[in-house]
Structure 1
């Protein structure tokens, strides 16, 4: 009897944990790179495009010299739909080299690093070599990596790359979270 009770409980737990289709889509409207230090970056650019109702990005950068340390300042602001009130989801500073190797300890950064590794032409790790092109092609946000409920609204992400206590590049991305019908016959109102 206990065996069947255990099997029923176990199957209920797995049923609850089953991943549901997400009813939202993450759209990146634009990415701007500013404060680019040409003493460090030979080239750094990012292109955003849409394919099949999904935003994709291609990014590439080449360093003018070997980069063996980088501090990253990352911030994410969110504005709920029809609201001008800003919610700061995070504002952190961390060792970029460490995160590339140990992202699995932080779920949020793990999603980013996993996606970066999946779509890159070479391993992103320190030290970064000089005059070598580091590319990530066809990057996109997989909604399955997010919680099942994410509020609709707009966001602004800022990532600053700091080397030797000096700002070397700033990347600002803006976008939105919009409703998306996971059932093609269901109409979202």
Structure 2
């Protein structure tokens, strides 16, 4: 009987994790502003739309090696049909280099970074290299990597990266929505 329960549990979990999601994540804005021109050479990103999906493409390069990065990131969420009430999903400040090495310890951030790493041309570890063109190709949030039950609504993330001498180097704002998808 116990074996039968384990088999049923396995197939139930497998069905939940592999089932198609009834929502889609759409990015409506992805803006990157670089503040410290003594370190950041260029940062250019754009969103493209294709087959009911939004993709982010772009590139980033530095004028010098970047051995340490502090990051402050926040995410706000507004439920569908409720634009007045905002939920703060997270607001954290972390050592980004340590974060990239240990991201597997936080499941929410692990989903994001795992998705991001699939679409970059380099292993994102510190130090970031000078004169290297870090490229992001057709990045999107894969819905099957996310939990099955996600509320519909809109979101905003703001990530600020403090580079050499703790000076603000980059600011990335992302706006998007989670909407029903057949």
Q: Same fold (TM over 0.5)?
A: yes
CA distance in 2, matches of 1:150, 1:116: 20
Structure exhibiting the larger radius of gyration computed from Cα positions: 1
CA distance in 1, matches of 2:41, 2:60: 7
Residue 10 in structure 1 maps to residue 14 in structure 2: no
Residue 150 in structure 1 maps to residue 146 in structure 2: no
Residue 179 in structure 1 maps to residue 180 in structure 2: yes
Deviations 1:66-125 (A, max 9, x none): 100000101000001111111000000111111212211111121122122211112111
Report what 1:114 is aligned to: 114
Report what 1:187 is aligned to: none
Describe the SS at the equivalent of 1:175: strand
Deviations 1:6-57 (A, max 9, x none): 2210121112212221100000001112352211110012111122212111
The answer to whether the Cα contact below 8 Å between 1:117 and 1:124 also exists between their aligned partners in 2 is yes
Describe the SS at the equivalent of 1:39: coil
Residue 169 in structure 1 maps to residue 173 in structure 2: no
Report what 2:136 is aligned to: 136
What TM-score comes out, normalization by structure 2 length? 0.92
Deviations 1:140-169 (A, max 9, x none): 101112111111111001000012222111
CA distance in 2, matches of 1:132, 1:85: 42
Q: CA RMSD in A?
A: 1.2
Shift of residue 180, structure 1, vs aligned partner: 0.4
What TM-score comes out, normalization by structure 1 length? 0.89
CA distance in 2, matches of 1:134, 1:97: 16
Report what 2:39 is aligned to: 40
Please, which runs of 5 or more residues in structure 1 have no aligned partner?
182-189
CA distance in 2, matches of 1:152, 1:118: 25
Please, which runs of 5 or more residues in structure 2 have no aligned partner?
none
CA distance in 1, matches of 2:59, 2:109: 19
Aligned residues between the structures: 177
Describe the SS at the equivalent of 1:42: strand
